[in-house]
Chains A and B, each alone.
Chain A
């Protein structure tokens, strides 16, 4: 009995023996395969994070005027992030306060661009009918007049829709400052090159939002892709009546306003 029993329980036959993988062998093979499998999966992921392809993006900004509280955080953050001089003449973004009075006069002020907030304003004569804040910045026009007039090609539009300035190539001729209908261009007092909002391009390429959008406490500013992606901006554009500033100039701005009053210029 014993000699016939033992082979039956220990190993059935030579063919079956060769198919069997014991635990040690299996773990060894797993150990060998792991780096290969992980390598295949990880390599494309790493590449996607490292390289930024501007042709895959088209950026825009949404501004909900009904949500702006005029705190000026965006102005301060922009000045910090982009090393804009802290005086009251140079701004990439600023906030305007509108007063529409009962006698149909419109008053607009922007003390220090809204950097320090807005002190209360005393009125004589007429009452205020409506009053609100409007954040403004470069509209990153698809048909940008400042790009059109630049004689040396120092102002340009990137594939992802940002209008940028080549600091080293700009000759400081100020044509762009004259051409911009939104007053968004300014000459840097130290470098003497024309400067502007870049949509914080150095942040975009790392997947971050512009500094003004990052610090906006009420979500009045939204940033994202204009085409084909699920972003808060896409929802904003779907559910709001959108306006742009000075649409009659056909500059095709990429900064879209919701709840914008007709008096805003």
Chain B
């Protein structure tokens, strides 16, 4: 009974002293070491320029930019080869850069005397673009390399800097062979292309810029197919005012291969 109140009275001031518990400084040391290790790891592991401009090493862009150029660009060619450049820009190869045929020429720009670009004059160069291939877009100039003036280098007849077809296509089937073949076995076999189409002369040299025309009114087809048309009796007839009057005829019927009746 006597010693019971004395015990807590003695211990409490000891507990309230400013001495830290042992585990706190120990933990603090551990945390400090971990922090130092983290900072050290970051210092050594993260590259110098990482994060300057984004989540990547900014210096990487410099090494990518330092990659040597092989193609000089046609602006460089124009500095010395002005007249040829002018000739090309006025002709059908205006969109084809010099290095498209002459190959990468940055070396020639750096040392024009010793390094010479290739001058392709063999017959197998031009067909890379101009050999017939059904996947190529309609109207792009194509030839059959087997049948087209065999063994003659292309440059004998064509100036590669301003190529012109030596003669414009003689007939529509030169380019539109598929349509010509289909029409040949159809009821319209006897009709010329220009019976229905207007074909401006410029279409032969600039097929995409100048387009041929096609009939834009029903009365044109009605010239043969209307009920009162003056045409052979076996030509099918239709009432122009009653048969789907809001459509042009070729919106439903394919004139190059009209339905067999």
Contacts and interface: CB of A to CB of B under 8 A. Distances in A.
Given A70-B136, A153-B50, A214 B56 contact: no
Interface stretch (B34-42, B63-71, B252-260): B63-71
Nearest to A119: B133
Contacts of A253: none
B166 interface: no
A97 B97 contact: no
Contacts of B140: 69, 218
Interface in B52-84: 53-57, 60-61, 63-71, 73-74
A164 B137 contact: no
Contacts of B136: 69-70, 133
Nearest to B141: A69
B133 A215 contact: no
A198 interface: yes
Contacts of A211: 70-71, 104
A69 B73 CA distance: 22
Contacts of B64: 164, 167, 198, 201-202
B100 interface: yes
Nearest to A202: B67
B29 interface: no
A247 B22 CA distance: 63
Contacts of B128: 71-73, 117
A128 B61 CA distance: 46
A205 interface: yes
Contact of B100 (A157, A203, A215): A215
A70 B104 CA distance: 20
A158 B63 contact: no
Interface residues of B, number: 36
A118 B55 contact: no
Nearest to B138: A66
B165 interface: no
A77 B68 CA distance: 14
B245 interface: no
Interface in B85-128: 93, 95-97, 99-100, 104, 128
A166 B49 CA distance: 12
A217 interface: yes
Contacts of A70: 133, 135-136
A219 interface: yes
B65 A201 contact: yes
Q: Which of A66, A70, A215 neighbours the largest number of chain B CB atoms within 10 Å of its CB?
A: A215
A202 B69 contact: yes
B47 interface: yes
B130 to A, nearest CB: 9
B49 to A, nearest CB: 10
A126 B104 CA distance: 42
Nearest to B60: A166
Contact of B135 (A131, A155, A167, A216): A131
Contacts of A159: 53-54
25 contacts: A69-B136, A77-B99, A77-B100, A77-B104, A80-B104, A81-B69, A81-B104, A82-B67, A98-B135, A99-B135, A117-B128, A131-B134, A131-B135, A153-B57, A156-B60, A159-B53, A166-B57, A167-B64, A201-B61, A214-B71, A214-B99, A215-B100, A216-B100, A217-B95, A218-B95
Interface of B: 47, 50, 53-57, 60-61, 63-71, 73-74, 93, 95-97, 99-100, 104, 128-129, 131, 133-137, 140
Interface of A: 66-73, 77, 80-82, 97-99, 117-118, 120, 128, 131-133, 153-159, 164-169, 198, 201-203, 205-206, 208-209, 211, 214-219
Which 8 pairs show the lowest CB-CB distances between chains A and B? A156-B56, A166-B60, A202-B67, A217-B96, A215-B100, A131-B135, A71-B129, A208-B73
Given A154-B60, A205-B65, A215-B71, 16 more contacts: A66-B137, A69-B133, A69-B137, A71-B128, A72-B128, A77-B104, A80-B71, A155-B56, A156-B56, A158-B53, A166-B56, A168-B57, A169-B60, A202-B69, A214-B100, A218-B140
